[in-house]
């Protein structure tokens, strides 16, 4: 690695560099080439730029599924009557539940503690009798595993849905049609099948871009400071603008290739609808990438130490992109202070514009405010890096 | 005896290099504090403060009563009254409202006449999960309203559902998040410590010196593992204390079982960390290697989305993920007072994962040493 840097430096002939000029294309090209070679020579940066995006998309596509398919629940029948059997049959017939019958209540409760089932239903011994009796109410007991709040809610709402249908059907069979006075009819806009994957995948591209833009750059640039090759560069006729651009251009290219790869895989392999245009994607993607590159460069220029830079990038760029960008966790559900903090995070604007581009289309009215904020953060972070580099040089 | 004293001095050296600098100490504590303060509020799938757009074309009593119930439920802090279908479109399109309810003009008339009336609810599919959760809140508020109406009209209910939640009766999200955090933050801490310690020595050239010393590769591995296990225990204990004393999550199980499980989990992590560092040449490679392992392992641990929702082949594949088993151990012991048998069924996969990785790492170090 050392030798390659030296030989590239020797390749930039100082005589043709044009002394005090602000920017020399020749020098910039040579520096960018050096940077590109460094990226491709290290297996770990190739791993991060090409393998990681595919792995993450795959995980977000198959592993992070918020739509429940079949939950295991227990059923204890203490009543042998026909009404109880009819209700049990309705439960077993639900496509959302996998019902396991238990002979003893104790065994069923143990299964709930051991997470083998996520809830259970008990039909008491007098269920059928109370149903027949006028004025009596036959209870159905449902217990859900509260240690998993989402699952518990799903168990309760699914069982009560089955129970409601069963009641309507039973009333119909007895010739006393029962209707619900008010019924809510849901319509899902933008994502009619309401698949969580369709909004999680466009959002997850944000996390991938952050890893390439902030984490990888912070490590690479910090290493140059740590090893002293940055000082060697600073002692050469290279100007500050050239230095900054030589770090931005190759990683911008790498990030854009990854972005295109992600969008292609998301659309053609994972079948997420893409309703926007590539032009809008390019504009939004460029600004976001530049602002995370700015964060990565500012961190590494400020820290100069790989271990610290990596930790800082993890805490300042990666974690906020996962937790505070709104791609899984809804921003409006956060406390006001945290909601305020999310406005400072570029990932937030990228998540919302990616979701718009993928699911709603290129609607400039929605995209322009996000783009303006992204452009603002780009200027702030790249400006900060320029300032830090200047201080380092003095 | 010589064996022990040699390891002892190696362990002392490792602790010194870990804690010698101020920034080193900060990095062991700061992320824990930051994440314990942030995660429980940010990383929640609970829907709060959502806004509901209401397009009400009916001013009869049932419509007003139903709207009052919706407004009174905790989930919606903002009700946006709109007066046309175009305004509904704008409220949803600009993300002003998560849901929009449309009550038709003949709603009250139909209900009073004993007919059934539909109410259209529009969900923002770009946030379909939150929208669906919010929709189920609406549904349960409506169920309560219908039940009260039936009772007021003197109609008998033939059957009813009595639902309860065990372990966390009110489904507080913090009770679910904090035990999982114990597992997740510990993972980040001890994995990075092990993965980077060898790589740093290699980059600085001191690893070769260790290899030519009288220490065997296995002893070096023990020396690297002890501080990482200690870091894991330290960070886990911090979060445990915060969970019980700051967030009031009741600890129901046995501390001995929890720490027993934690010991085997840390060993499994050390195995993974040492294996990564045995195949990396630089700190950058070790860090990125640890990252490529850690992010998928945490995402697929059942914390972000339940393992049950994954396709069956992926569920089977998560068996090799140590984080998944330990998240279950902590949640089980913490919230459900899990039995020894249950903890054992989760710990033995950790022992297998640890053994395989430690063996692989030892083989790699031996090859480098030879």
**Each residue's pLDDT tens digit, B302-352:** 888 888 888 889 989 999 999 999 999 999 999 998 889 999 999 999 999
CB A342 within 8 A of CB A348: yes
Question: Residues of CATH 3.40.1710.10 domain(s) within chain B?
Answer: 50-152
CB A236 within 8 A of CB A12: yes
The shortest CB-CB distance from A334 to any of B42, B158, B163 is to: B42
The torsion angles phi and psi of A177, rounded to 5 degrees, stand at -50, 135
- Chain B residue with minimum CA distance to A83: B159
For B165, which DSSP code? Answer: E
CB A66 to CB B296 under 8 A? no
Predicted confidence at residue B326, as pLDDT, reads 95
Is the pLDDT at B41 greater than 50? The verdict is yes
In chain A, residues with a C-beta closer than 8 Å to the C-beta of B136 are 153, 157
The owner of tokens 């990438």 is A289
CB B128 to CB A330 under 8 A? no
Q: What pLDDT digit, counting tens, does each position of B324-333 carry?
A: 999 999 999 9
Question: How near does any CA of chain A get to the CA of B119, in Å?
Answer: 5
The shortest CB-CB distance from A315 to any of B34, B44, B129 is to: B34
Q: Is A324 exposed, middle or buried (0-12, 13-18, 19+ CB in 10 A)?
A: buried
CB A181 to CB B149 under 8 A? yes
Predicted confidence at residue B246, as pLDDT, reads 92
Q: What pLDDT digit, counting tens, does each position of B244-269 carry?
A: 999 999 999 999 999 999 999 999 99
Alpha carbon separation from A357 to A199, A360, A374, B93 (Å, rounded): 11, 6, 15, 13
The shortest CB-CB distance from A142 to any of B43, B133, B161 is to: B161
CB neighbours of residue A102 within 10 Å: 18
CB A66 to CB B129 under 8 A? yes
CB A114 to CB B342 under 8 A? yes
Contact status of B285 with chain A (Cβ, < 8 Å): yes
Alpha carbon separation from B210 to A355, B196, B358 (Å, rounded): 52, 16, 19
Rounded to an integer, the average pLDDT of B154-159 is: 71
Question: How near does any CA of chain B get to the CA of A348, in Å?
Answer: 13
- B351's enclosing H/E stretch is helix B340-369
Residues in CB range of B124: below 8 A, 6 or more apart = A189, A190, B92, B95, B97, B98, B99, B131
Question: CA-CA distance, B262 to B271, in Å (whole number)?
Answer: 14
CB B299 to CB A59 under 8 A? yes
Sign of torsion over alpha carbons A346, A347, A353, A357: positive
Q: What pLDDT digit, counting tens, does each position of B105-151 carry?
A: 888 888 888 788 888 999 988 787 788 888 888 888 888 888 888 78
Predicted confidence at residue A18, as pLDDT, reads 44
Sign of torsion over alpha carbons A91, A97, A98, A103: negative
In chain B, residues with a C-beta closer than 8 Å to the C-beta of A221 are none
The residues of chain A scoring below 50 in pLDDT are: 1-19
Distance separating the N- and C-terminal Cα atoms of chain B = 26
Rounded to an integer, the average pLDDT of B77-84 is: 88
- Secondary structure of residue B124 in the 3-state scheme: strand
Question: CA-CA distance, B96 to B101, in Å (whole number)?
Answer: 14
Rounded to an integer, the average pLDDT of B268-297 is: 88
Contact status of B74 with chain A (Cβ, < 8 Å): no
Question: CA-CA distance, A24 to A237, in Å (whole number)?
Answer: 10
Question: CA-CA distance, B261 to A106, in Å (whole number)?
Answer: 26
CB B356 within 8 A of CB B331: no
Question: CA-CA distance, B341 to B329, in Å (whole number)?
Answer: 11
Two tokens, residue B301: 């641990």
Predicted confidence at residue B156, as pLDDT, reads 66
In chain B, residues with a C-beta closer than 8 Å to the C-beta of A176 are none
CB B156 to CB A140 under 8 A? no
- Secondary structure of residue A177 in the 3-state scheme: coil
Identify which of A216, A349, A375, A221 has the alpha carbon closest to the alpha carbon of residue A291: A375
CB B161 to CB A160 under 8 A? yes
Identify the residue among B61, B161, B183, B302 best suited for mutation to test binding to A, counting A beta carbons within 10 A and taking the highest. Answer: B161
* A71-173: CATH superfamily: abc type-2 transporter like domain (3.40.1710.10)
Strands B117-124 and B99-103 turn out to be antiparallel
CB neighbours of residue B370 within 10 Å: 7
**What ipTM goes with this model?**
0.82
Classify B299 in phi/psi space as left (phi over 0), alpha (psi -120 to 50) or beta. alpha
Question: How near does any CA of chain B get to the CA of A155, in Å?
Answer: 10
Rounded to an integer, the average pLDDT of B70-82 is: 84
Could you please state the CATH topology (level 3) that the domain comprising B50-152 is classified under: abc type-2 transporter like fold (3.40.1710)
Predicted confidence at residue A1, as pLDDT, reads 37
Identify the residue among B42, B133, B289 best suited for mutation to test binding to A, counting A beta carbons within 10 A and taking the highest. Answer: B42
In chain B, residues with a C-beta closer than 8 Å to the C-beta of A59 are 296, 299-300
CB B119 to CB A183 under 8 A? yes
Interface A:B, Cβ pairs < 8 A: 308
The torsion angles phi and psi of B25, rounded to 5 degrees, stand at -65, -40
CB neighbours of residue B162 within 10 Å: 12
CB < 8 Å from A in window 181-220 of B:
192, 196, 200
In chain A, residues with a C-beta closer than 8 Å to the C-beta of B118 are 182-185
Q: Is A209 exposed, middle or buried (0-12, 13-18, 19+ CB in 10 A)?
A: buried
Question: How does residue B1 score in pLDDT terms, banded at 50, 70 and 90?
Answer: low
Percent of chain B clearing pLDDT 70 (strictly above): 98
- The rounded mean pLDDT for chain B is 86
Identify the residue among A131, A149, A360 best suited for mutation to test binding to B, counting B beta carbons within 10 A and taking the highest. Answer: A149
Is the pLDDT at B44 greater than 50? The verdict is yes
CB B127 to CB A330 under 8 A? yes
Question: CA-CA distance, B91 to B97, in Å (whole number)?
Answer: 5
- Give CA torsion, residues A185, A188, A189, A193, to 10 deg: -140
Question: CA-CA distance, B134 to A191, in Å (whole number)?
Answer: 16
The shortest CB-CB distance from B168 to any of A45, A134, A147 is to: A147
Q: What's the longest Cα–Cα distance across chain B?
A: 93
Sign of torsion over alpha carbons A40, A44, A47, A53: negative
């Amino acid at each position: 690695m050392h030798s390659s840097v030296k030989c590239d430096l020797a390749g930039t002939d100082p005589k043709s560099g044009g002394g005090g000029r602000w920017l020399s294309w020749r020098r910039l090209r040579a520096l960018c080439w050096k940077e590109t070679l460094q990226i491709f020579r290290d297996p770990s940066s190739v791993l991060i730029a090409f393998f990681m995006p595919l792995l993450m998309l795959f995980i977000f596509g198959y592993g992070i599924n918020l739509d429940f398919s079949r939950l295991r629940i227990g059923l204890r029948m203490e009543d042998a009557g026909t009404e109880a059997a009819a209700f049990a049959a309705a439960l077993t017939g639900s496509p959302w539940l996998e019902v396991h019958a238990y002979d003893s209540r104790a065994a069923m409760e143990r299964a709930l503690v051991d997470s083998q089932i996520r809830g259970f239903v008990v039909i008491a011994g007098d269920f059928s009798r109370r149903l027949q009796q006028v004025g009596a109410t036959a209870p159905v007991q449902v217990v859900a595993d509260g240690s998993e709040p989402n699952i518990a809610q799903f168990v309760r709402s699914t069982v009560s849905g089955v129970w409601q249908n069963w009641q309507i059907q039973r009333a119909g069979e007895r010739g006393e049609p029962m209707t619900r006075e008010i019924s809510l009819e849901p319509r899902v806009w933008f994502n009619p099948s309401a698949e969580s994957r369709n909004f999680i995948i466009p959002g997850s591209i944000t996390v991938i871009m952050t890893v390439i833009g902030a984490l990888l750059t912070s490590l690479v640039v910090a290493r140059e400071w740590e090893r002293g090759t940055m000082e060697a560069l600073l002692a050469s006729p290279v100007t500050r603008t050239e230095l900054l651009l030589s770090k931005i251009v190759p990683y911008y290219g790498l990030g854009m290739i990854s972005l295109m790869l992600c969008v292609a895989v998301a659309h053609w392999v994972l079948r997420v609808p893409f309703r926007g245009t590539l032009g809008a994607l390019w504009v939004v993607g460029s600004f976001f990438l530049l602002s995370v590159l700015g964060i990565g460069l500012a961190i590494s220029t400020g820290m100069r130490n790989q271990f610290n830079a990596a930790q800082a990038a993890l805490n300042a760029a990666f974690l906020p992109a996962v937790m505070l960008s709104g791609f899984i966790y809804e921003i409006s559900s956060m406390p006001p202070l945290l909601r305020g903090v999310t406005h400072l995070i570029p990932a937030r604007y990228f998540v919302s514009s990616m979701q718009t581009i993928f699911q709603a289309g290129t609607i400039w009215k929605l995209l322009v405010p996000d783009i303006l904020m992204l452009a603002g953060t780009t200027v702030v972070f790249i400006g900060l890096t320029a300032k830090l580099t200047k201080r380092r040089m003095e | 005896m010589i064996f022990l004293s040699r390891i002892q001095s190696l362990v002392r050296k490792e602790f010194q290099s870990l804690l010698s600098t101020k920034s080193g100490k900060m990095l062991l504590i700061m992320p824990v504090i930051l994440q314990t303060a942030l995660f429980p509020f940010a990383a929640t799938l609970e829907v709060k403060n959502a806004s509901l757009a209401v397009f009400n074309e009916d001013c009869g009593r049932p419509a007003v009563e139903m709207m009052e119930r919706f407004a009174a439920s905790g989930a919606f802090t903002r009700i946006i009254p709109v007066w046309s279908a175009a305004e509904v479109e704008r409220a949803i399109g600009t993300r002003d409202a998560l849901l929009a309810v449309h009550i038709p003009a003949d709603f009250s008339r139909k209900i009073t006449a004993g007919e059934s009336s539909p109410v259209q609810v529009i969900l923002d599919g770009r946030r379909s999960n939150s929208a669906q959760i919010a929709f189920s809140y609406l549904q349960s508020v409506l169920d309560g309203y219908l039940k009260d109406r039936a009772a007021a009209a003197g109609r008998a209910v033939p059957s009813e559902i009595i639902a309860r939640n065990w372990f966390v009766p009110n489904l507080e999200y913090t009770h679910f998040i904090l035990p999982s955090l114990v597992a997740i933050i510990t993972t980040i801490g001890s994995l990075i410590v092990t993965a980077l310690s060898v790589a740093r020595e290699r980059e600085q050239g001191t690893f070769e010196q260790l290899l030519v010393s009288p220490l065997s590769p296995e002893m070096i591995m023990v020396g690297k593992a002890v501080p990482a296990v200690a870091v894991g225990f330290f960070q886990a204990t911090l979060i445990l204390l915060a969970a019980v004393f700051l967030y009031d999550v009741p600890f129901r199980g046995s501390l001995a079982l929890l720490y027993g499980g934690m010991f085997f989990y840390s060993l499994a992590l050390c195995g993974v960390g040492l294996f990564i560092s045995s195949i990396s040449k630089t700190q950058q490679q070790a860090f990125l290697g640890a990252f490529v392992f850690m992010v998928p392992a945490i995402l697929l641990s059942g914390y972000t989305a339940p393992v049950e929702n994954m396709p069956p082949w992926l569920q089977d594949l998560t068996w090799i993920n140590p984080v998944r088993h330990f998240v279950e151990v902590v949640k089980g012991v913490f919230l459900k007072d899990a039995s020894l048998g249950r903890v054992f069924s989760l710990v033995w996969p950790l022992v297998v994962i640890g053994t395989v990785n430690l063996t692989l790492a030892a083989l790699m170090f031996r090859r480098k040493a030879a």
